[in-house]
Structure 1
Amino acid sequence: MTLPPPRVCPCGTEVVPYGVKCSCAIERKAAADRARPSPSKRGYDRVWQRLRKSFLLAFPACSTDGCGKPAADVDHIKSVREAPHLRLSWGNLRSFCHPCHSRHTARTQGFAKNRGL
């Protein structure tokens, strides 16, 4: 199996092998991570960790229709930013396997949301 050819990075400063990030992308991500508040400051403290663990024990399968894989992530139906008073409410939670959670998050918070996809 052959790999795709190298590509020019989005910044236009480097040619990088397929699947490798350029140094400017690595630095951009590091800067964004430094600027982001810690998980505990974003509401994911010890109380959340305990609640998450007990929720996954109670709802061990992914809640995506037709998936049924073991759940690894707990998602807030209404985001903590929208409804901080529902942060620890079981009625505002659902379990997802990691791939389904990533797809859901991309659709509702990331790239796809910004483009109306």
Structure 2
Amino acid sequence: MPRPPHICTCGNIVPHGERCACQVARTRARNKRHDAGRPSASARGYGSKWRKARDAFLKINDRCVWPGCGAKATLVDHIIAHRGDMRLFWDRSNWQPLCTSCHSRHKQRQERHA
């Protein structure tokens, strides 16, 4: 049996499991404001040196380590967020291979609540 739609704060009726266009627009605007003051990826340490190290790491560690996943790893995640600390950034014992799905879903949720 399908679940009923919900009413958005703007008054639109939205099917279950979907987001209203106004919610999507608010999220995009919030993300744009956040990114405006953020340094570029290269300035944060994710330049060509990182890409070479990442590629080498993923050749050796090619599977997602998230419990129960085991999909092909596409990202190198910092277990402890480095927050600009380059010593922690380059510490390979702080790296773990993750698939995009686990990094986007589980790891980001975990970091938001930490």
* TM-score normalised per structure 2: 0.72
Q: CA deviation at 1:39?
A: 3.4
Percent of aligned pairs sharing the same letter: 31
Deviation for aligned residue 1:7: 1.1
Instruction: Indicate if the aligned counterparts of 2:44 and 2:84 stay in contact, CA closer than 8 A.
Output: no
Provide structure 2 residue ranges, at least 5 long, that are not aligned to the other structure: none
CA contact (8 A) 1:8 1:16 kept: yes
Structure 1 contact 51–88 (Cα < 8 Å) conserved:
no
Structure 1 segments of 4+ aligned residues over 4 angstroms from their partners: none
Query: Residues of 2 paired with 1:19 and 1:74: CA distance?
Result: 30
Distance 1:87 1:78 in 2: 9
The 1-side partners of 2:85 and 2:76 are apart by 16
CA drift of 1:59 comes to 0.7
1:51 aligns with 2:57: no
Shift of 1:22: 1.3
Q: CA deviation at 1:65?
A: 4.5
Task: Describe the superposition over 1:54-109 as per-residue Cα deviations: whole angstroms up to 9, x where unpaired.
Answer: 211111122234543321221102212173322123222111233433313312x1
Distance 2:52 2:2 in 1: 44
Which TM-score applies when normalising by structure 1?
A: 0.71
Residues paired across the two proteins, number: 109
Query: Structure 1: 5+ residue runs without aligned partners?
Result: none
Residue pair 1:52, 1:74 contacting (<8 A) in 2 also: yes
Following the alignment from structure 2 to structure 1, what is the Cα–Cα distance between the partners of residues 30 and 43?
16
Distance 1:68 1:41 in 2: 32
- What is the one-letter code of the residue matched to 1:68? G
